[in-house]
Structure 1
Amino acid sequence: MKRKMKQILGMMLLGVFAATMVTGCGTSTGENSDTKTEQKTKTTDNNVTGDTGNLNGTITMIGSTSMEKFANALGEAFMEKNPGVTVSPEFVGSSAGIEALVGGTADIGNASRNLEDSEKEAGAVENIVAIDGIAIVTDEDNKVKDLKKDDLTKIYSGEITNWKELGGDDTPIVVVGREAGSGTRGAFEEILGIEDKCKYANELDSTGAVMAKVAATKGAIGYVSLDVLDDTVNALTLEGVEPTAENIKSGDYFLSRPFVMATKGEISEQNDLVKALFDYLKSEEGKQLVESVGLITVD
């Protein structure tokens, strides 16, 4: 009897021990599973965060010399935010830039004018990113400080050839402009309605060259991008209006043109680097950059 009781008690104790072991293992397994799930989730989140905005590669911009200051500032700011990206700008003129874009040797074609129909038909899409004013400049000693639109037209078409006709000194007018294909020249001549009618003494291949030539030449007159003005030349008022961003935005200053960053196809069709660059330009920081180089935002 006693032996039988001992056997029953032993079996009961064994059952309790087994149940305890099962429960303990179950609890331990559950905790490990939760921990692993949590760790897995954290690892996945970190990977996602690390991949976001991790851009690498090169963006090639080719085109307008008038856009040099803007393009360089944009490239530097974008590369600072994206250390894995190289923005490579080249300044060879608006038409050459669009030609490079269409030909597939540039991601972006910079043009300081509206695109021509033939360029659009070839696949170039016009993306206006800023508005620029065209300033009329003379050498520092010139006494003429203001010109009417008609006066400016007659100077560049060769009808007025001496500053004395405009109340200045008896000095021949030296007409300085840009080379054929320049966006600045195209916009300037189109606004005045004198395409193919200009009588240039000098046709130069960059904005900087125009500034230098006018500054060093008695009686010279030229046109340059508003954002490159400095104290080496006189910037004339036109119809009594100064060439300022405020006057261009209000429409009071008549010489202005768009800065275009053309793409082959819509922006949405471009690679991630190009799309990110345009997104940056649309941001508040991008708009501040546009204004910081003397241009006008399009929004």
Structure 2
Amino acid sequence: MRRASVILLLAAALLGGCAQATPTPMLTEPETAAPSVIEQQAAPEPTAEHALAGRITVAGSTTVQPLAEKLAAAFRAANPEVEIVIQGGGSSVGVKSAAQGIVDIGTASREVKDSEKAEYPDLVIHRIAVDGVAIIVHPDVPLDSITTEQVQAVFAGEIANWRELGGPDQPITVVAREEGSGTRDFFQEHFMKDKEIVARAILQPSNGALRTAVSTTPNSIGFLSFGYLDDSVKALAVDGVQPTEANVYAGTYTAWRYLNMLTRGEPAGLARAWLEFILSDDGQQIVTAQGYLAVKR
């Protein structure tokens, strides 16, 4: 097999951002239910007579993009005649691009909004992973846990000094995602409710950029996809519950969302083959290896 070579085109915001909507079927409410591990099947191996070849185009969520790249590389390793072109742009770009047939597959780190479902009735949602969202701080912040109410107050600017949370007498630097980010929209709906993120927040264009900003900015706080957590930042327990995969599955850590791939109508050909691989045993092992959680089909 020839070595995989996924072509990555990093789009600079194709059409716009993304917005969060209430999760749909399969689970009831994220606050009270937990995702289930899928019963996985191995993806079929292509035969010489039926070798896959061609091009798949993908665009959308920057949260899903690195995971999609890993899944594409693994798929290409077994199917070297397949080219997978992956772009970012945001969840709303993923929804619109897939629905309008601009790309074969769109990606979104949020649920499809009711308005989008009405506008694009042929859109089909494929859940590929579950992703938690953690509250993170600079490693030197002497805090290990925070309540949902405190998160809301800090990001709304109502609490502006760590002293008010039992920490040192230092101002809190709020770091957040940009407007249109699916991760921001999820954070807004889950934590902030009807309050807005403070205007003085330092905005970042991606999970990776936000992690770097928090890890290098003393006294800072932010929110981050589970798939981006590492030792450069400290993840806080929320309401006494650690942000772990086990606690998401147990239903005790409630800040999680689905990662989705989207197609216009039921997928066929290469798109279908790749989606089947993603939801296979091998594909879901890649999902979990990247720090995300497997889904239930």
Shorter-chain TM-score bucket reads: 0.7 to 0.9
Question: What one-letter code is carried by the residue in structure 2 that aligns with 1:178?
Answer: R
Equivalent pairs, count: 248
State the AA in 2 paired with 1:226.
F
Distance in 1 separating the partners of 2:222 and 2:169: 19
Classify 1:51/1:118 alpha carbon distance in 2 versus 1 (closer, same or farther; 3 Å).
Answer: farther
In structure 1, C-alpha distance between the alignment counterparts of 2:157 and 2:55, rounded to whole Å = 46
**Secondary structure of residue in 1 paired with 2:59:** strand
In structure 2, how many angstroms separate the alpha carbons of the residues matched to 1:181 and 1:297? 26
**Structure 2 counterpart of 1:212:** 212
Equivalence for 1:156: 155
Please list every run of at least 4 consecutive aligned residues from structure 1 whose deviation after the TM superposition is greater than 4 angstroms.
none
Q: CA deviation at 1:69?
A: 2.6
Which residue of structure 1 aligns with residue 226 of structure 2?
Answer: 226
The aligned counterpart of 1:144 is 143
Partner Cα distance (1:149, 1:65) in 2: 26
For 2:90 and 2:195, locate their aligned partners in 1 and report how far apart those are by CA, in whole Å: 18
User: What is the DSSP-based 3-state SS (H/G/I as helix, E as strand, rest coil) of the residue aligned with 2:183?
Assistant: helix
1:264 shift after superposition: 1.5
Of 280, 284, 287, the residue aligned with 2:277 is 280
Deviations along 1:87-118, one digit per CA (max 9) or x if unpaired, are 11112221222222233321111111111112
Distance 1:225 1:49 in 2: 38
Shift of 1:125: 2.5
Match of residue 90, structure 2, among 85, 89, 93 = 93
Which of 103, 114, 118 aligns to 1:117? It is 114
Secondary structure of 1:126's partner?
Answer: strand
Paired position in structure 1 for 2:48: 50
Q: Which residue of 2 aligns with 1:181?
A: 180
Q: Could you say which residue in structure 2 is the equivalent of 1:5?
A: none
Contact preservation (8 Å) 1:173, 1:221: yes
- Contact 1:102/1:122 (CA < 8 Å) preserved in 2? no
Q: Which has the higher contact order (CA 8 A, sep 6+)?
A: 2
- 1:50 shift after superposition: 3.2
| AA at the equivalent of 1:50 | A
Q: Does 2:61 align with 1:64?
A: yes
Partner of 1:27: none
- Specify whether residues 141 and 109 from structure 1 end up closer, same or farther in structure 2 by C-alpha distance, changes over 3 A only: same
- Which whole-Å CA distance do the structure 1 matches of 2:131 and 2:254 have between them? 11
The structure with more radius of gyration = 1
> Structure 1, residues 105-159: CA drift from partner, whole Å, max 9, x if none?
2111111111111222232322211100111111111011110111111111222
Taking a change above 3 Å as real, the CA distance of residues 196 and 81 of structure 1, as seen in their structure-2 partners, is farther
How far apart, CA to CA, are the structure 2 residues paired with 1:64 and 1:195? 24
Answer whether contact 2:100 2:264 (CA < 8 A) is retained: no
Taking structure 1 as reference, are residues 246 and 49 closer, same or farther at Cα in structure 2, changes over 3 Å only?
A: closer
**Distance of 2:133 and 2:285 partners within structure 1:** 21
Closer, same or farther: CA 264–195 of 1 in aligned 2, 3 Å: farther
Contact 2:139–2:215 at 8 Å: present in 1 too?
yes
Supply the distance in 2 between the matched residues of 1:180 and 1:122 (Cα, whole angstroms).
Answer: 22
CA 1:202–1:195: 2 relative to 1, 3 Å: farther
Identify the match of residue 73 of structure 1 among 70, 75, 97: 70
Displacement of 1:59 in angstroms is: 0.9
> Using the alignment, how far apart are the partners of 1:224 and 1:103 within structure 2?
30
- The one of 105, 108, 126 equivalent to 2:105 is 108
Unaligned runs of 5+ in 2: 1-45
Q: Find the counterpart in structure 2 of residue 237 from structure 1.
A: 237
What does residue 203 of structure 1 align with? 203
Q: How far did residue 86 of structure 1 move?
A: 1.0
Matches of 1:68 and 1:99, distance apart in 2 = 16
d(CA) in 1 for partners of 2:83, 2:194: 38
Structure 2 Cα separation of the partners of residues 254 and 158 of structure 1: 23
